[in-house]
């Protein structure tokens, strides 16, 4: 066996995937919605904990942090019980609450940047992640949730291995020096492949051309999500968001692409299929 390939196959990245992917498949196949929501809420809590320093640094604002945590889980709970209407309503409420906090702070120099970061935080994490719950409630919901993970993580595998072997041209050297144009294109191909695979084996009941568009769009968005997290980490001078997952860093390092892909598949499915 080629030494480079052997090294890749024995890496923590592959070993972690070999353990987690079967668990996710079983979860999506048999779990009730309440269990899926509970596990997702736990993951969201870990992601919020990891992500706070990436956006706010070491700033200590217990009031702002407490509000963002509370609003984040309120958004998630709204998506669980009321779908997109409740989620949109609570998002409007969250913006109003943060505006009131901004007014209370007065004209301090840091008030507006902190307000903008808080809005970004709520959109980036609980709002985007809540779309996995919205997907679950759609026809073929379990398959659509599986599609999010397959298109992003499967595409990431294509991107990682093709970029390792054949990557020459840097995609965005200032943000993520290891990413290549070749890896990016391989990721798009991989995302499309898994979307078509779900259609071919009959788990996803959409036309093949819609599967192609959803796969391409979701993988592209997922790769942008990965780059966005790399931007946040580079701005704070850190390599990984955490170290809880061997070979992947933190939970945010594993779901950064999922966060951006889930809304794309949700709105794309509702627009072109329903």
What distance in Å separates the CA atoms of residue 124 and residue 131, rounded to the nearest whole number? 11
* Per-residue pLDDT of the chain in tens (274 residues, 90 and over written 9): 455 545 444 444 555 555 666 677 777 878 899 999 999 999 999 999 888 888 887 665 678 888 999 999 999 999 999 999 999 999 999 999 988 888 776 656 567 788 888 899 999 999 999 999 999 999 999 999 999 999 998 898 888 888 888 888 898 888 888 889 999 999 999 999 999 999 999 999 999 999 999 999 999 999 999 999 988 888 777 665 555 544 455 788 889 999 999 999 999 999 999 7
Taking residue 58's Cβ as centre, other Cβ atoms within 10 Å add up to: 7
Domain limits, the chain: 1-30+140-274, 31-137
The model carries a pTM of: 0.88
Q: Is 49 exposed, middle or buried (0-12, 13-18, 19+ CB in 10 A)?
A: middle
């Amino acid at each position: 066996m080629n030494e480079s390939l052997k090294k890749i196959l024995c890496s923590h990245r592959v070993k972690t995937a070999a353990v987690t992917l079967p668990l996710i498949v079983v979860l999506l196949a048999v779990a009730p919605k309440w269990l899926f929501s509970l596990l997702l809420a736990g993951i969201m809590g870990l992601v919020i904990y990891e992500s706070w320093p990436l956006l706010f640094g070491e700033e200590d604002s217990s009031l702002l942090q407490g509000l963002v945590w509370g609003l984040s889980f309120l958004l998630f709970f709204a998506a669980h019980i009321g779908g997109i209407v409740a989620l949109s309503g609570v998002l409007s409420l969250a913006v109003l609450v943060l505006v009131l906090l901004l007014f209370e702070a007065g004209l301090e120099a840091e008030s507006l940047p902190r307000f903008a970061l808080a809005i970004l935080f709520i959109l980036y994490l609980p709002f985007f992640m809540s779309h996995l719950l919205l997907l679950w409630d759609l026809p073929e919901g379990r398959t659509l949730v599986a599609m999010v993970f397959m298109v992003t993580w499967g595409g990431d595998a294509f991107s990682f291995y093709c970029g390792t072997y054949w990557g020459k041209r840097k995609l965005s050297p200032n943000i993520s020096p290891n990413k290549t144009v070749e890896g990016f294109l391989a990721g798009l191909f991989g995302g499309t492949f898994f979307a078509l695979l779900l259609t071919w084996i009959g788990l996803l009941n959409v036309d093949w051309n819609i599967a192609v568009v959803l796969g391409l769009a979701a993988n592209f968005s997922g790769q942008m999500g990965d780059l966005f997290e790399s931007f946040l980490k580079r701005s704070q001078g850190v390599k990984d968001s955490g170290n809880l997952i061997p070979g992947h860093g933190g939970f945010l390092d594993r779901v950064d692409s999922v966060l951006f892909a889930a809304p794309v598949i949700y709105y794309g499915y509702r627009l072109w299929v329903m």
